[in-house]
Structure 1
Amino acid sequence: MISLTSPASYLLTALILFAAIFGRYVLFSWSFWWLFKVSMKTQFAHRAVQTRPRKPGQDRREIGWSLLTSFIFTGIAVAILAAHQAGYTQIYTDWQAYPLVWYPVSIALVLFIHETYYYWLHRWMHRPGVYKRVHQTHHDSITTSPWTSFSFHPIESTLQAIVIPALTFVIPLHFSAVGLILLIMTVSSAINHLNTEIYPRDFNRHWLGRWLIGATHHSLHHTQFRFNYGLYFTFWDKWMKTESPDFHRLFGEKTGKRMKNEE
């Protein structure tokens, strides 16, 4: 780990973190796009949730906003790294510092808090006086793609970025757990914005699948606006009665025809 002791070390750290953050976005967005839109396009064509064409230049605009988002994420990451080196965070590297069972518990706890924070933040961002200033940039993508996953206005990017870093000050997290949480966030966002339902038939009613958000669930948010505010999980939408009444029907329609590898 680089020691932040000089302007040069801060700059080098920022460059490394930016490469990791933006590179992670490009890697997973491109991978999901290529796999389901190019390599297996024929097998998954019937699973496209929205058939409305994307706007001209939409990919370019989304990547541009995502580039700016990555700069914001990088700035916050550098600040947290500096705070950690100063001894202010609860991030640890010694596996013996806490019982091993705490590792999965800490990840689950952070994901639950993040989900809760995001659900209520998301509903607030849909308030008329807030939406145009903060959230409309993301909703410019009515028909989404994996490139949409980081496409936010800078205010929204900042609001989204602060919660996990803030939790590192109060919840003990192994260094690798932080990385795993960020990986889950990136993969989940790419899947949710894919606009192609990749989960199997009846997964929306499976004991696990009924709690996970996928492309059908989140695509309905981009077209209906008033439903499906969750990030990773559906439980807040279920508890607050904000899950789209069209979700189960649409999921069934998109997954009703078997793919070759499901037969």
Structure 2
Amino acid sequence: MERIAGYEPADAIPMLPPTLRGGPRKALRTVWDLVWMTMWPYGFVYAGLAALVWNVFTPAMERMERFAVGWIAEIYLRNVVLLLVSAGGLHLWLYVRRAQGKDYKYDYRWPRKRSRRFLWRSQTRDNMFWALTSGAFFWTAYEALLLWAYANDHIARVDWGDGPGWVVYLLAMTVVPFFLVTAWFYVTHRLLHTRPLYRWAHYLHHKNVNTGPWSGLSMHPVEHLLYFSTVLFFMVIPVSPFVVILTNLFTAMDPARGHCGFDRFEIGYGRTMPAGTYYHDLHHKYFECNYGLQVIPIDAWMGTWHDGSPEAHERMRARLEATRR
């Protein structure tokens, strides 16, 4: 399992897992840093977008009291448009126009134009197909189920106008989904790496070694069923429908950035901003490491944390060789 040539964020290697050790002040500082890292800038973008989607581009609750093709189709089409704008926009900028060349690209190779591994021998078309069909379907299905349940008072709901205390609660619950999605992602991802589910479903996502924006939601329907299931927690945790939409937006749209294949976006005048996730890119390159995400260091606790260093790579190789004996 050789290392693949590409950009490595040397200033961030080794990627150390966050820790709450060192006393209360250090623990609080770590928690604050994790919240800020999660929310700035993209968490705030998703929260703002979720507010817009909930207030402008979501059918009225009265219509959602009964399942009907009309309002569900509206949500599906809205979700498809959001994917086309997010994943499609990044693909156009980074891979069609190649606006920043290979600067900050994790894998210096461009995706192969033709490969039998993918539908129509095209990685992009294959990825788009799975994202826009199965991905958008399960995103819509979970959202429609929860909104229908809210419309019929089948599950508890909290709104911004319910009082100052509930406003504080909902502000906190605007942050919680990012960590909830991350924790649940680790659980479902490890499950998908068991031999039966990997061969049946997860192999499809891992056909993408040299990932691009559309790779993020390129999954088998079984994987989409698990991946989007985070919102089911809100059937027992009272929140606003806005929080459900925020959770789904983050779950559906952030993979385009996380799999874009670049560490930084060049935004002009010598400035850059965070782009992909080197931590998860290592998982796509080497498969048996970094099953979760950095903000909740479950991989460190389970011995599968790859910090990007040559030493970590050798430890991973030794661990895999030991399991094969």
In 2, Cα distance between equivalents of 1:6 and 1:173? 21
How has the CA–CA distance of structure 1 residues 71 and 181 changed in structure 2, closer, same or farther, with 3 Å as cutoff?
closer
Q: Is the 8 A contact 2:263 2:275 kept in 1?
A: no
Number of the residue aligned with 2:319: none
Residue 218 (structure 2) aligned to one of 139, 151, 155: 151
Number of the residue aligned with 1:58: 123
Residue 170 (structure 1) aligned to one of 227, 236, 240: 236
In 2, Cα distance between equivalents of 1:19 and 1:180? 17
How much has 1:155 moved relative to structure 2?
0.5
Residue 24 (structure 1) aligned to one of 75, 82, 86: 82
Say if 2:167 is the partner of 1:110: no
How has the CA–CA distance of structure 1 residues 178 and 75 changed in structure 2, closer, same or farther, with 3 Å as cutoff?
closer
How much has 1:187 moved relative to structure 2?
4.2
How has the CA–CA distance of structure 1 residues 143 and 163 changed in structure 2, closer, same or farther, with 3 Å as cutoff?
same
In 2, Cα distance between equivalents of 1:48 and 1:221? 16
Residue 218 (structure 1) aligned to one of 277, 280, 284: 280
How much has 1:136 moved relative to structure 2?
0.7
How much has 1:40 moved relative to structure 2?
6.5
In 1, Cα distance between equivalents of 2:241 and 2:286? 39
Number of the residue aligned with 1:121: 188
Number of the residue aligned with 1:33: 91
Q: What do the CA deviations read for 1:174-197 (whole angstroms, capped 9, x no partner)? A: 232333333333443121100011
Question: What is the root-mean-square deviation in Å for CA atoms of aligned residues?
Answer: 2.9
In 2, Cα distance between equivalents of 1:96 and 1:50? 50
How has the CA–CA distance of structure 1 residues 52 and 36 changed in structure 2, closer, same or farther, with 3 Å as cutoff?
closer
How has the CA–CA distance of structure 1 residues 247 and 234 changed in structure 2, closer, same or farther, with 3 Å as cutoff?
farther
Task: Give the secondary structure class of the aligned counterpart of 1:3.
Answer: helix
How much has 1:248 moved relative to structure 2?
9.3
How has the CA–CA distance of structure 1 residues 243 and 77 changed in structure 2, closer, same or farther, with 3 Å as cutoff?
same
Task: Give the secondary structure class of the aligned counterpart of 1:172.
Answer: coil
AA aligned to 2:130 is W
How has the CA–CA distance of structure 1 residues 220 and 120 changed in structure 2, closer, same or farther, with 3 Å as cutoff?
same
What TM-score, normalized by structure 1, do the two folds share? 0.78
How much has 1:213 moved relative to structure 2?
9.4
Residue 204 (structure 2) aligned to one of 111, 115, 137: 137
Same amino acid, percent of matched pairs: 21
In 2, Cα distance between equivalents of 1:54 and 1:160? 25
AA aligned to 2:76 is F
After the TM superposition, which of the residue ranges 223-232 and 151-160 deviates more from structure 2? 223-232
How has the CA–CA distance of structure 1 residues 243 and 232 changed in structure 2, closer, same or farther, with 3 Å as cutoff?
closer
AA aligned to 2:145 is A
In 1, Cα distance between equivalents of 2:258 and 2:78? 21
Structure 2 unaligned residues grouped into runs of 5+: 1-59, 115-121, 267-273, 312-325
After the TM superposition, which of the residue ranges 177-186 and 60-69 deviates more from structure 2? 177-186
How much has 1:53 moved relative to structure 2?
3.6
Residue 102 (structure 2) aligned to one of 33, 45, 55: 45
Task: Give the secondary structure class of the aligned counterpart of 1:176.
Answer: helix
How has the CA–CA distance of structure 1 residues 155 and 230 changed in structure 2, closer, same or farther, with 3 Å as cutoff?
same
In 2, Cα distance between equivalents of 1:25 and 1:110? 20
Q: What do the CA deviations read for 1:106-149 (whole angstroms, capped 9, x no partner)? A: 13333323222210211121122220112011111111111112
In 1, Cα distance between equivalents of 2:66 and 2:237? 29
Q: What do the CA deviations read for 1:30-59 (whole angstroms, capped 9, x no partner)? A: 2222344456733x5231101334242111
AA aligned to 1:219 is D
Q: How many residues align?
A: 236
How has the CA–CA distance of structure 1 residues 5 and 100 changed in structure 2, closer, same or farther, with 3 Å as cutoff?
closer
Displaced runs of 4+ in structure 1, greater than 4 A? Answer: none
Number of the residue aligned with 2:27: none
Q: Is the 8 A contact 1:32 1:146 kept in 2?
A: yes
In 2, Cα distance between equivalents of 1:178 and 1:76? 9
